[in-house]
Amino acid sequence: METVISSKITIKSSIDSPRLAYTLDFIFNHFFDCGFDLNPDSHQNLPCISYNNSSSDINNLSIPASSYLSSTDILPDPEAINPDSPAFDIFSFVFYFLSRAEEYDFQSDDSFHRFTSAKSHFGDQISKPLVDIQVLKFAEAIREKLNINLTRRSTFTCIHTVDIDQFYAFKNKSLKRTIGGFVSSTLKANVNNLKDRKNSLTKGDDPYDSFDFLQSQSKDFTSFYFILVGNYDKIDNALDITQNEIKDQLHLLDTQATIGLHPSVSSRNADSVLAKEKQTLESVMNKKILHSRQHFLQLNFPETYRQLIKQGIQHDHSLGYHDAIGFRAGTSNPFYWFDLNKNQATELMIHPLLAMDVTLKKYLQLQPDQAITQVKKLINQCKEVDAPFSLLWHNSSFYEAEGWGGWKEVYLEIVNYCRELSA
Ligand SMILES: [Zn+2]
């Protein structure tokens, strides 16, 4: 029998819910590109997927439907999302991961109210793209049972992203900050730092000014720069981005990458603060800003995403763990955000983040060579399932006097490895 390639998938189900429609849209329109028909009027002769809680249908591919997608419950029956259980329901499994159900109403023990990797139901397995692996297995079952080959939309690629908390370490700071910095470096007898400060003032060099280097390394990749605008305290401490030198730098970066907002920690639950930061960046860039990533990856469900949507953000890039590398939503493929409390899909597209420089060095306390090994393993996982790998590096994470000696090599190993695998 000849294998049919990517014809529309037919699904028969007594369930008609926003959750099921959302999950099918992700699998058949975004992960694969075949499309689907749910309960079409005439399907008598078409091979189809049957998704019901009644007994299995031997002529078709049967998935046991748990009650999760027809309910408004936040959490599913654990058996439904256990791939080793006979009650395993692939659609509930995918929905559970993408909706980030486990991140609603959790008790945070983190000072930024963040969800930590230890709280994930899937524990150590966050290092694997669990959703992608199960969806590919499902496609295999569709091929065997229905004789339909599904084609993928995505392929392995590197998404190169940079968060700019501070454009410069020394340059373009107010006189008060500059004098204060000099006095503090002298008192601490920090000779390297003092030398760098002097060079910055006399020659214009600055250790955070790695922009030419970042641009030259990322020109083969899709690139983003997320700009912190908030300047209120030690955590939200951006330089004034309306200064001419910074403006010029931003426009230079914009020629090769997408400029996004880096909402401050102070903008949490403060719509007017977020609106102001976005407006400032938009007026500097003379265009609408549609992409965003939270400073410190501070992200709470559903508040943060509701706030972003209200401000007209269409793409968020914050969904990665600050304290672990890996797949926070079980996939690195982009997907729409589903608001569980409203029980409806939204038009905010989430682009998962897989690895951040600070995670490797500060939270996991890896040495440079260990970091290279860990990130290459993660990249291999993406390559295996043909999905994007998204990296976050700060422009400041090359400065040896701040402990980043040896990390430029880590960065280079990562981007070179990605280039090799994308070729
Ligand atoms: Zn930041």
Whether residue 42 is found in the same domain as residue 94: yes
| Residue 13: both structure tokens together | 């189900």
- Which one-letter DSSP state was computed for residue 266? G
Whether residue 231 is found in the same domain as residue 262: yes
Whether residue 105 is found in the same domain as residue 117: yes
What is the rounded CA–CA span in Å between residue 235 and residue 165? 9
Whether residue 319 is found in the same domain as residue 404: yes
Whether residue 244 is found in the same domain as residue 179: no
Q: How far is the CA of 261 from the centre of ligand 1 (A)?
A: 10
Q: Which amino acid is at 85?
A: S
Q: What is the three-class DSSP state of 378?
A: helix
Which one is predicted more confidently, 196 or 388?
388
Which one is predicted more confidently, 55 or 395?
395
Whether residue 288 is found in the same domain as residue 377: yes
Per DSSP bridges, beta strands 315-316 and 291-292 are: parallel
Whether residue 181 is found in the same domain as residue 260: no
Q: How far is the CA of 362 from the centre of ligand 1 (A)?
A: 14
Q: How far is the CA of 83 from the centre of ligand 1 (A)?
A: 36
> What's the structural domain count of the chain?
3
What is the rounded CA–CA span in Å between residue 10 and residue 285? 46
Q: How far is the CA of 383 from the centre of ligand 1 (A)?
A: 28
Q: How far is the CA of 235 from the centre of ligand 1 (A)?
A: 9
> pLDDT of 159-190, one tens digit each?
999 999 999 998 876 655 655 655 666 666 66
pLDDT value at residue 205: 81
Would you say residue 106 has pLDDT above 70?
yes
pLDDT value at residue 189: 60
Q: Which residues of 383-392 are buried (b: 16+ CB within 10 A; e: fewer)?
A: bebebbbbbb
CATH value at residue 379: 3.20.20.370
Whether residue 42 is found in the same domain as residue 101: yes
Note down the domain range covering 417: 158-169+207-422
> pLDDT of 313-338, one tens digit each?
999 999 999 999 999 999 999 999 99
Whether residue 261 is found in the same domain as residue 277: yes
Q: How far is the CA of 21 from the centre of ligand 1 (A)?
A: 35
> pLDDT of 131-167, one tens digit each?
999 999 999 999 999 989 999 998 999 999 999 999 9
Q: How far is the CA of 263 from the centre of ligand 1 (A)?
A: 8
pLDDT over 70 percentage in the chain: 89
Whether residue 114 is found in the same domain as residue 9: yes
pLDDT value at residue 107: 87
Q: How far is the CA of 7 from the centre of ligand 1 (A)?
A: 44
> pLDDT of 351-402, one tens digit each?
999 999 999 999 999 999 999 999 999 999 999 999 999 999 999 999 999 9
| Residue 71: both structure tokens together | 């309910």
Q: How far is the CA of 262 from the centre of ligand 1 (A)?
A: 7
Residues having C-beta closer than 5 Å to ion ligand 1 = 163, 165, 295
Q: How far is the CA of 237 from the centre of ligand 1 (A)?
A: 10
Our CA angle for 74, 75, 78, nearest 5°, is 170
Q: How far is the CA of 395 from the centre of ligand 1 (A)?
A: 11
Integer angstrom CA distances of residue 359 from 119, 225, 262: 17, 18, 18
Q: How far is the CA of 155 from the centre of ligand 1 (A)?
A: 28
Whether residue 374 is found in the same domain as residue 302: yes
β-partners of residue 64 are: 52
**Average pLDDT over all residues of the chain:** 92
Listing DSSP states for 337-383 in one string gives EEETTTTEEEEEEE----EEHHIIIIIS---HHHHHHHHHHHHHHHH
When pLDDT is cut at 50, 70 and 90, the band that residue 7 belongs to is: confident
Q: How far is the CA of 264 from the centre of ligand 1 (A)?
A: 8
- C-alpha distance across the termini of the chain, in Å: 35
List Cβ neighbours of 277 (8 Å cut-off, separation of 6 or more): 229, 230, 261, 263, 264, 267
Q: How far is the CA of 228 from the centre of ligand 1 (A)?
A: 7
User: Nearest-CA neighbor of 262 among 226, 310, 233?
Assistant: 226
Integer angstrom CA distances of residue 373 from 48, 221, 331: 43, 21, 21
What is the rounded CA–CA span in Å between residue 95 and residue 19? 7
β-partners of residue 62 are: 50
Whether residue 257 is found in the same domain as residue 340: yes
